[in-house]
Amino acid sequence: MKSLLALDQGTTSSRAIVYDERLHPVASAQKEFTQHFPRPGWVEHDAAEIWQSVLETSRQALEKTGPAAIAAIGITNQRETIVLWDRKTGEPVAPAIVWQDRRTSEYMSALREGGKEPFIQQKTGLLLDPYFSASKLHWLLRQIPNAIARAANGELAAGTIDSWLIFKLTGGREHVTDVTNACRTMLMNIHTGDWDDDLLALFAIPRAVLPRIAPTSGHFGDTEPALFGRSLPICSAVGDQQSALFGQLCTTPGLVKCTYGTGCFMLMFTGSDPMASANRLLSTVAWKIGDAPIQYALEGSVFVGGAAIQWLRDGLKIIRTAPEVNDLAAEVPDSGGVFLVPAFTGLGAPYWDSTARGALLGITRGTTAAHIARATLEGIAWQVTDLLAAMEKDSGRRLTTLRVDGGASASNLLMQMQSDSLGVKVERPKNLETTALGAAMMAGLGAGVWKHPDELSHIREVDHLFRPTSTKKDRSTKLKQWRKAIKRAKNWVED
């Protein structure tokens, strides 16, 4: 059996990992790229720089194995970020607008006030928020001269990062996305798996500008031979959070994972029926493998997770590297009554308040950098606690174990805080890069390396199981304080 190349294109870096026939990583490369913040609340990427970072890391990872060993490429990517490019030149016509960007808050608020949210939620499983791609593309098409006409004429192409990368990898031959990414645009009907004419009309977006929608696992096209020395088949494209869900083998309804990256993303696999949320969570597509029916998940999204630690490093400069937060936070036994709500780009689920801003509360003359570091980790954990509480209400299930992954899950201190705040076990696998792993698994299925997901059941190995050490009374007291802090972050303008 041959190897698989996973391209993991994230919010702050691009990574390429080669997996052998046992799905063990044998080569990898990673490169960060520039974050652009042109105005408060605006977040942009240079799509051309992203493409170059993916190409460079892919070539570096292949230096060890060579392209001849690769059976297929799998792509996983930051979701909701939208790219608009010229089909003929293959170049972006504007900066990519990132999922964190809030520039369309007023537009989405107007749609909500106009009573459009129930209509949107029924078709897409989503709530009206700038997080999703539709309002970003609506904005882009109105900022560029003649863009709407050019889009309708097929001169421009739009898509999430997976579409952009596949277009570049195939030399412009393929303009395609998969159902997991398409469902996050707010333009796809999750029940039909196709672009919805009513939604396209609502956001005034021409169908001709959008990619075709394909299953998550299957043949998306072949790379240009000149890129890697030979043509390689692309056999999966999957949004990063759905990829992590699959990489954690949450393929039985009721299993839950949370990924700790730039943000925190909790998904519960619900099977072949989308579960409507009464607690402001999202119904989303989990994946579609070949001709099999679409599978669904329930999702809660925290916009700022590990990014809060980056803020301590780059903003406050109280740590030099992200892992130093653990040693600094461990210098004190508790946060000294300090709470940090990292709503730097608004609040995601279950609050969905795009106007909320970060709040650091409970500071005294005795507050130290260690207390702030500890409050930052606790703030991440409490946000995830809010998600699990909403998920339990929607599903009617009392969850006993949370599967975790992502860079910040390597922190024993944070994971113990998480177990204590949830009051449930937290299970961390040996391989934390489950996002890339999920893409490799999907590519293997798409290339026929495996016939069924059940053949992958032996892959997952547990590294550590964290058990709660706090009392129910302590959890309840701190949760009440956390909810007060959330209220301050939501009402900061009025106060």
pLDDT tens digits in sequence order for the chain, 495 residues long: 589 999 999 998 999 999 998 899 999 999 999 999 999 889 999 999 999 999 999 999 999 888 888 999 999 999 999 999 999 999 999 999 999 898 999 999 999 999 999 999 999 999 898 989 999 999 999 999 999 999 999 999 999 999 999 999 999 999 999 999 999 999 999 999 999 999 999 999 999 999 999 999 999 999 999 999 999 999 999 999 999 999 999 998 889 999 998 889 899 999 998 888 888 888 999 999 998 999 999 999 888 888 899 899 999 998 898 889 999 999 999 999 999 999 887 888 888 887 888 889 999 999 999 999 999 999 999 999 999 999 998 888 888 899 999 888 889 999 999 999 999 999 999 888 889 999 999 999 999 888 888 888 777 888 899 999 988 898 899 989 999 999 888 866 554
d(CA 131, CA 128): 8
**pLDDT in the model for residue 491:** 67
**pLDDT in the model for residue 81:** 96
- For the record, the structure tokens of 180 come out as 């997991």
Residues in the chain: 495
d(CA 132, CA 331): 40
Which of 430, 434, 428 lies closest to 467, judged by CA? 428
**pLDDT in the model for residue 15:** 95
Q: What angle do CA 396, 281, 78 make, to 5 degrees?
A: 130
Each residue of 307-331: b (16+ CB within 10 Å) or e?
bbbbbbeeeeebbeebeebbebbee
Enumerate the β-bridge partners of residue 221: 234
Residue with tokens 């790379």: 223
What fold characterizes domain 3-241?
Answer: Nucleotidyltransferase; domain 5 (3.30.420)
Residues 6+ apart with CB under 8 A from 302: 263, 264, 265, 348, 349, 380, 383, 384, 387
- For the record, the structure tokens of 95 come out as 């900066």
d(CA 219, CA 173): 13
**pLDDT in the model for residue 1:** 57
**pLDDT in the model for residue 141:** 96
Q: Model's pTM, two decimal places?
A: 0.86
- For the record, the structure tokens of 261 come out as 């990256």
Which of 107, 286, 280 lies closest to 202, judged by CA? 107
Longest dimension (CA), the chain: 64
CB atoms within 10 A of CB 447: 22
Query: What's phi and psi for 71, nearest 5 deg?
Result: -80, -35
Which of 59, 76, 54, 69 lies closest to 20, judged by CA? 69
Residue ranges of E strands in 374-442: 401-405, 425-429
Enumerate the β-bridge partners of residue 77: 9, 239
- Asked whether 351 and 344 are in contact (CB, 8 A), the reply is no
Cis peptide before 350 (omega within 30 of 0): yes
**pLDDT in the model for residue 495:** 44
d(CA 479, CA 491): 18
Ramachandran category for residue 485: left, alpha or beta (phi over 0 → left; psi -120 to 50 → alpha)? alpha
End-to-end CA distance of the chain: 62
**pLDDT in the model for residue 280:** 84
CB atoms within 10 A of CB 83: 28
| C-alpha separations of 68 from 17, 56, 230, 232, 352 in Å | 15, 18, 8, 9, 47
Helix (H) or strand (E) holding 264: strand 264-271
DSSP assignment letter at 384: H
Question: What single string gives the DSSP state of each residue in 464-476?
Answer: EEE---S-HHHHH
Residue with tokens 């759905």: 242
